[in-house]
C-alpha cells in the first residue's frame, strides 16, 4: 500500500493537535494545583445566599466565593 506525500503529512499532522491538547491539559492541571486550598466555615444562611447568587450567575459556589473575594480585594486596593 502506497501513501502519497499529502496523505503522509495529514497523518503526521493529526498527532500535533493531540499533543497540543495534552500540553494544554497539563498546563491547566498545573495551574489549578497551584491554587491554595482553604477550609472555610460559613453560617448556613450565608451559605444559602452565596449558593443562590452563584446559581443566578451560573457559577459554582467555589467560583462564586472566589469572585466575591476578588471583588473585595479590588475594592479594597482600588485595583
Residues 23 and 51 occupy one common structural domain: no
Residues 25 and 50 occupy one common structural domain: no
What Rg, from alpha-carbon coordinates, does the chain have?
22
Residues 50 and 74 occupy one common structural domain: yes
Residues 23 and 13 occupy one common structural domain: yes
How many structural domains are present in the chain? Answer: 2
Residues 16 and 49 occupy one common structural domain: no
- pLDDT, residue 77, reads 92
- 23-71 residue pLDDT tens: 888 887 787 778 888 999 999 999 999 999 999 999 999 999 999 999 9
> What would the grid cell of residue 45 be?
444562611
Contacts with 59 (C-beta within 8 Å, 6 or more apart), sequence order: 67
Q: Which domain holds residue 64?
A: 37-79
Residues 50 and 78 occupy one common structural domain: yes
Residues 60 and 25 occupy one common structural domain: no
Give the N- to C-terminal CA distance of the chain in Å, as an integer: 64
Amino acid at each position: 500500500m502506497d501513501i502519497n506525500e499529502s496523505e503522509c503529512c495529514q497523518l503526521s499532522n493529526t498527532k500535533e493537535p493531540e499533543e497540543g491538547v495534552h500540553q494544554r491539559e497539563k498546563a491547566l492541571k498545573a495551574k489549578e494545583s497551584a491554587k491554595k486550598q482553604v477550609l472555610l466555615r460559613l453560617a448556613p444562611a450565608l451559605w444559602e445566599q452565596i449558593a443562590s447568587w452563584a446559581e443566578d450567575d451560573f457559577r459554582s459556589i467555589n467560583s462564586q466565593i472566589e469572585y466575591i473575594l476578588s471583588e473585595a480585594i479590588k475594592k479594597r486596593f482600588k485595583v
